Structure 1
Amino acid sequence: MYKKHALTIDEQIHQLNKRGLITGEDANHFLSHISYYRLAGYWWPMQKEPKEDHSFKENSKFSDVIALYNFDRELRIVIFDAIEKIEISLRTKLIYHLSHELGPWWFQNLDIYQNVTEAEKTLLVIETELKRSKDVFIKEHIKKHSDDPRLPPSWKTLELTSFGTLSKIYGNLKNNIVSKARIAKELGVVNHTFLPSWLQSIAQIRNYCAHHSRLWNKNLPGRPRLLPNPPNAWINDVPVERELHMLYIHLCCIKYLLNIVQPKNDLTTQLTALLGKYPNVDPNALGLKINWTKEPLWDS
């Protein structure tokens, strides 16, 4: 049975000091604005083995914990900005190509999906999002077309859907839908065999960013399927299987798509500047290769 009680901030600081973490006068301020267990993910690598003892390695400093926290926060902002551009592009392509191929209400046609049960769940999510919407263009459509039982057409409805929902829609499309292959080709991912795993991975990272969750030193659940011979600039030093849980390969997928959506983007510059701002951050915790900036992908 769990018997621990809530600790005051002074008690939290005392506990950290007792375990070997060096804190300064600002510890009280930070712990009053950033919860103990949110910061715990950043000091975890500073602890000795066995981790269950919670003892810190010699010369572990609270200031380094805060630096890691701030680095991760700024990293999420950079990544979120890049993902936004990819999300808008995917939404635009889904609406445009499928509306021309299958009509304005293609997304409600269950015949186009591989897994009908999953498609029905996705449509329920979309309907819920529409009911919550306060957007004028949705309210006006429903008011003007109250005699039409269908949802608003895709160019209205899908403007409200999340990246996660868009990725599920795309991945669940039957492979004989012409637009599925066309969208993958336009995004430089050759065909629909690879793109769904990329979108799923990026959607997960977007959610981490949106909910302010840690990305630094995180074991990511997604595993993007890697192209054997990408048509556009890629990396020569490809991470092996055991490295695919780290952020680097996911960043590579984001950069690859971003190079198409926004050519001459400054993602490489932003990341190198951020690492320069926080020199104590270990690039290995992100899975970054030693010469990653010299890779064709990141040099473009």
Structure 2
Amino acid sequence: MKKTFNKGFLSVPEQLNLLKERGLLIDNDDRAKDYLKHIGYFRLSAYFYPLLQTPKNQHLYKAGATFNQVLDMYRFDRKLRLLLFNEIEKIEIAIRTEIVNRGCSFLNDIFWLTNPIYFRDRNRYIQSLSLIDAEHSKSKEDFILHFKQNYSNQYPPSWMLAEIIPLGVLGNLYINIADRRLQKQIAKSFGLQAPVLASWLMVLANIRNICCHHGRMWNRELPNIPSELRNPTYKWIDDTTTDRRRIYYKICMIKYLLHTITPNNKLKERLIELSQRYPTVDFRAMDFPIDWHSQKFWN
């Protein structure tokens, strides 16, 4: 049976006192108050939680748990989000370009993204098109405004339109392409099978949205479970020993896709730098193997 939420509001000084009463060590009250004021107790609570004793519902901190540890986890997570967002940006641009260019060439139609004959599920396509319409109507991009002012077409060509389409919408369009040969060609350019690329696109869109909205990435399970990669073109991890719900698997997906986009990427080195900068943050909480950086996939 559900109950009524009856917790009251606490001021910043009251929040600080509560943390102390529960056993969290705080070496500088003024500094801690600043963080509580500008970040917020609720946002930081996700990083307080791992430091609680078992059972967690007693809300008592482990011996030696400090506010500085909380800040380290928070800063690490922020750096991780920025890193993943930067790498996903490269992937998003590359996949967007491949889908558009391959489609224009294969179908011999530069307006194919807005032509329903190229898509399998009409209802799904109508949903995608409504989102495209919304982006198109509100866009203030110079190239969109220029096209509207100078051409009578309802929509600009696919390469222009793709620049304003969110990754999730692009993923839905890819999933819905009627011609399997076109789907396969696009997926093959990234070393994937078409169903896997379709799945991974939606997962990456979810991660990108979490990063954009400053959500926690460290030590969480993500709802979208990516399809298993079988017969990989490039080096890959052992799917049977890796939890596809955890962030490590998603980071490996990003690394795999970067192989064809920026083969000399520094993702591994940047992850190692993060682990060295924040040595108290547990990488295993993200499902990283202890020896991840020495495994074949990363070398």
Alignment size in residue pairs: 293
Tell me if the contact between 2:119 and 2:177 (Cα under 8 Å) persists in the aligned partners: yes
Q: How far does residue 127 in structure 1 lie from its aligned partner after superposition?
A: 1.1
1:180 matched to 2:183: yes
Q: Which residue of 2 aligns with 1:151?
A: 155
Q: Which residue of 1 aligns with 2:270?
A: 270
Q: CA RMSD in A?
A: 1.5
Q: Which residue of 2 aligns with 1:17?
A: 20
Tell me the amino acid that sits aligned with residue 229 of structure 1: N
1:38-53 → structure 2 map (5 Å cutoff): 38-53=43-58
Q: Which residue of 1 aligns with 2:68?
A: 63
For 1:132 and 1:297, how far apart are their aligned partners in 2? 43
For 1:34 and 1:24, how far apart are their aligned partners in 2? 18
1:215 matched to 2:217: yes
For 2:87 and 2:240, how far apart are their aligned partners in 1? 22
1:36-115 → structure 2 map (5 Å cutoff): 36-102=41-107, 103-115=109-121
Which structure 1 residue ranges, 4+ long, deviate > 4 Å from structure 2? none
1:228 matched to 2:230: yes
For 1:33 and 1:152, how far apart are their aligned partners in 2? 43
List alignment gaps of at least 5 residues for structure 1: none
Q: Deviations over 1:216-243 (max 9, x none)?
A: 00111121122222111222x43547x2
Q: How far does residue 180 in structure 1 lie from its aligned partner after superposition?
A: 1.0
For 1:295 and 1:161, how far apart are their aligned partners in 2? 37
Q: Deviations over 1:148-187 (max 9, x none)?
A: 3x2111111111111111111112223x343211110000
Q: Which residue of 1 aligns with 2:5?
A: 2
Tell me if the contact between 1:93 and 1:183 (Cα under 8 Å) persists in the aligned partners: yes
Partner-residue secondary structure (3-state), 1:194: helix
Tell me if the contact between 2:47 and 2:74 (Cα under 8 Å) persists in the aligned partners: yes
1:162 matched to 2:166: yes
> Taking structure 1 as the reference length, what is the TM-score of the superposition?
0.93
For 1:152 and 1:195, how far apart are their aligned partners in 2? 26
Match of 1:202 among 201, 204, 209: 204
Match of 1:142 among 145, 148, 164: 148
For 2:70 and 2:269, how far apart are their aligned partners in 1? 25
List alignment gaps of at least 5 residues for structure 2: none
Q: Structure 1 residues 16-25 or 59-68, which shifts more?
A: 16-25
Q: Deviations over 1:1-24 (max 9, x none)?
A: 323222110011111111111123
For 1:292 and 1:104, how far apart are their aligned partners in 2? 44
Tell me if the contact between 1:234 and 1:295 (Cα under 8 Å) persists in the aligned partners: no
Tell me if the contact between 1:219 and 1:245 (Cα under 8 Å) persists in the aligned partners: yes
Partner-residue secondary structure (3-state), 2:298: coil
Tell me the amino acid that sits aligned with residue 168 of structure 2: G
Q: Deviations over 1:238-296 (max 9, x none)?
A: 3547x221111111110000011011111100001111111111111111012211223
Tell me the amino acid that sits aligned with residue 250 of structure 2: H
For 2:127 and 2:27, how far apart are their aligned partners in 1? 51
For 1:136 and 1:22, how far apart are their aligned partners in 2? 53
% identical aligned pairs = 35
Tell me the amino acid that sits aligned with residue 146 of structure 2: E
